[in-house]
Structure formats: C-alpha cells, structure tokens
Amino acid sequence: MEFNVRRLAADAGTFLSRAVQFTEEKFGQAEKTELDAHLETLLSRAESTKHWTEKIMKQTEVLLQPNPNVRVEEFLYEMLDKKVPMRANNHELLGECMIDSGHEFGPGTAHGSALIKCGETEKLLGSAEKELIQSSAINFLTPFRNFIEGDFKTILKERKLLQNKRLDLDAAKNRLKKARVADARSAELNSSPPLGEEYVAHFSYMLSFLHVRWLKLWAEEVQQAETELRIAQSEFDRQAEITRLLLEGISSTHAHHLRCLNDFVDAQAAYYAQCYRYMVNLQKQLGSFPSTFSNNNQQAGSSSASISVPTAQPAASLPVPPPSQASPALNELRSTSGTRKARVLYDYDAASSSELSLLADEVITVSSVPGMDTDWLMGQRGNQKGKVPFTYLELLN
C-alpha cells in the first residue's frame, strides 16, 4: 500500500510538472525542444497516410455498398461479432422479378422467354458482384482497416509517449536553469557576520542570512537537476528512436497497400470482364428472336455518346450492291433533292453521334445532302436524324 501511495504521488507530481511546462510553452514563457526535421517529416507522412487511407477505405465501402442503411447494419453486426445475414442484392432482386414475370407471360412467348433469359443473366451479375465485394473486403479493405486500427494506433501511442518525454526533458532543463541562477545569486551574498557586532543588533543581517540559506537550497538542487536532466535526455532520445523506427515502417505499409491496390484492380477487372461475357451472351440469345422483338435502345445512342462494343463491319467490308442496281435509284434521289423511303438491309451501329444506328427490316426516310460523301445519305427515324451508309439500304418506290 505504501508503494502504491508513493507511486501515485510521484505520478501526480510528474503530471503537474508536465502541465506547468505545457502551459508555459503555450504562453511563451518556457523554451521548447523541437524535434529534428527528419522525425517531423516522418510524423507528417504518417498523418497523411492515415488520412488518405481512411478516405479511400470509406469511399470504397460506398462504391461496394451504396446503401448507407445496409452499411450501418453491417457495421453493427461487426461490432456485435455476429455474422451478417445473407441478402439478395439489386441485380438478384431484378432477376427474380424478371423471371417471375416471364413465367407469368408464358415461357413460350418471345417476351416471356426474353424476360427469363434477362432475369437469369441479372442473377449471374448479382453473384459476380458478391464475389467482387467479398474479394475486395478481404484483399483491400481489411488490410487498410488493420493499419488504421493496429499499426497507426501504436504510432499514436508512441508519439504521445514521446511528447511526454519531451515535456519532462524541457521541465528538467527549466529546473536546472533556475537552480543555476539561484546558485549564482547566493554566491554574491556574504554569509559571514560583521566583526565586533552582535547578531541581535543586526536584524537586517538575520533576514539576509535566511535569504542566503534559502538560495543555497536552490544551489543544492543544481547537482540533482543535472542528474535528472541527463536521465530525461536519455529517455527522450530512446523514445525518439523507437518512434522513428515505427514511422519508417510507413514505407513498408505503402508497399503492402500497393499490393492490395493491385489485388483490388484485378478483382474489378475480373468482375467487369465476367459481366461483359454475361451481357454478350445475353445479346446473342436475344438476337435469335424475330426482328420485331429486337432491342430498341439505339435512340439514346444516336443523341448521346455511349460505351458499347461495336459490332458493325469495317467500311471496307460493307456490302456493296452492283452499280446497275444502286446508281439509277441514287441518281434519281439526288436529282430530285427530295426524300424517299428505304428499307434497312442489315443492322448498323453508329460510329459517332453524327450517324444513325439501323435495325434490319425497319423503314426509314432518306434524303441527299449536297456535299455529302457519295456512299452516305441523311436518314431520319421520327425525331432522330443522322448519316447512314447507302449500301445498307434498299430504296423503295
């Protein structure tokens, strides 16, 4: 019990000494030992690493799970150390809805069969998304979280300990400075009584003598203060070295995060490639339906840029009808400068926003524009307008 009381008293004295030193530094009444530039650079680098690691981790969680309510629920399950219940994602829910509606309309109908095929593909997309989330959580988010909750907390702990050791060092320097000043002042005073006179007759001398004794108490502190300063300096240097070694480990953390980043990119590339294969396969399946049930999303493609895989043949391999069939009709259209109906012979995907995508067997309105290339006409479908290759058309009477 006696040891505990003494330890508590010593800790309280140390805490008070640090508080006084910190307050005097804030008010500019005490000197402060500055850390070396290399250590300051390492501390700044660690703070920057922690800041951006947290931001990247949070934004990745938002990317993988856009629903904030689900993220909060998963966080609570993680805090309670319970397994997160399995739930269908948006792709899987859409797939189930499409499959149910396809069975309702009838699997034997074109619409019902197409809905079932789309629903099955959406469920495959949902499974691929779950694999991406799981892979990203293990290979990308977990290492980032381990750094924030493990390595960086250790760095914070050692940095706080370094700050305390720095306050102890500066307090020891301050005590030594005061002790030396007191020792110098006591040396200037004469502690010997005047000759031939009594002590009682010299009350002022008694006061001076007591003052000298008080100053000598400070003088006796010089040696002890120097010893405490050497100990404080040694502990500060040792803690600074420990902190420096931990901070230099940030380079290894960066290298590890780089490997995690490569794993995340690989997982995304595999996910998007898998989704692309699923969608291409779905396009092939839907392409087997009659043209009346073909896709109708070319309207958006002609008015705005879109990301798609071009399926049109190069211009050099476009089907070219014999001149005897193409020239009279085309010359007649150009000479009249009017419009004519034309039937589309082949599917055509617009290569730019100035062109119009075509579907086989549809009928559009075409006209000739002065100055346009001889292999192209101006096509119009409703409010959509753009260049179309003449070799893909059959002019109607």
**Domain of 282: which CATH number?**
1.20.1270.60
**Domain of 365: which CATH number?**
2.30.30.40
pLDDT for 205 beyond 70: no
pLDDT for 143 beyond 60: yes
What is the model's pLDDT at position 293?
A: 46
Of 47-56, 197-206, 234-243, 280-289, give the lowest mean pLDDT range: 197-206
> Do 364 and 283 fall into the same domain?
no
What is the model's pLDDT at position 306?
A: 43
Per-position DSSP letters for 78-144, written without gaps between them: HHTT-PPPP---HHHHHHHHHHHHHHHH-TTSHHHHHHHHHHHHHHHHHHHHHHHHHHHIIIIIHHH
Write the CA distances from 118 to 15, 115, 266, 289, 311, integer angstroms.
Answer: 70, 5, 27, 13, 20
Assess if residue 2 is contained within a domain.
no
In contact, 162 and 13? CB cutoff 8 Å: no
pLDDT band at 386 (very low <50, low <70, confident <90, very high): very high
What is the model's pLDDT at position 323?
A: 43
Average of per-residue pLDDT across 172-182: 79
Q: How many domains does the chain divide into? A: 2
What is the model's pLDDT at position 199?
A: 46
pTM for this structure? 0.59
Residue among 395, 360, 396 at smallest CA distance from 377: 395
For residue 373, the enclosing domain spans: 339-395
Average pLDDT of the chain is: 79
Assess if residue 196 is contained within a domain.
no
Assess if residue 236 is contained within a domain.
yes
Q: What percent of the chain has pLDDT above 90?
A: 37
Assess if residue 24 is contained within a domain.
no
What is the model's pLDDT at position 301?
A: 47
Assess if residue 370 is contained within a domain.
yes
> Do 364 and 260 fall into the same domain?
no
Assess if residue 361 is contained within a domain.
yes
pLDDT for 154 beyond 50: yes
Q: How far apart are CA 243 and CA 363, in angstroms?
A: 77
Give the pLDDT confidence of 272-291 residue by residue, as tens digits. 999 999 999 998 888 765 54
Give the pLDDT confidence of 89-139 residue by residue, as tens digits. 889 999 999 999 999 998 888 888 899 999 999 999 999 999 999 999 999
Assess if residue 47 is contained within a domain.
yes
Give the pLDDT confidence of 14-29 residue by residue, as tens digits. 767 777 777 776 777 6
Residue among 301, 299, 326 at smallest CA distance from 389: 326
> Do 226 and 364 fall into the same domain?
no
End-to-end CA distance of the chain: 112
> Do 279 and 349 fall into the same domain?
no
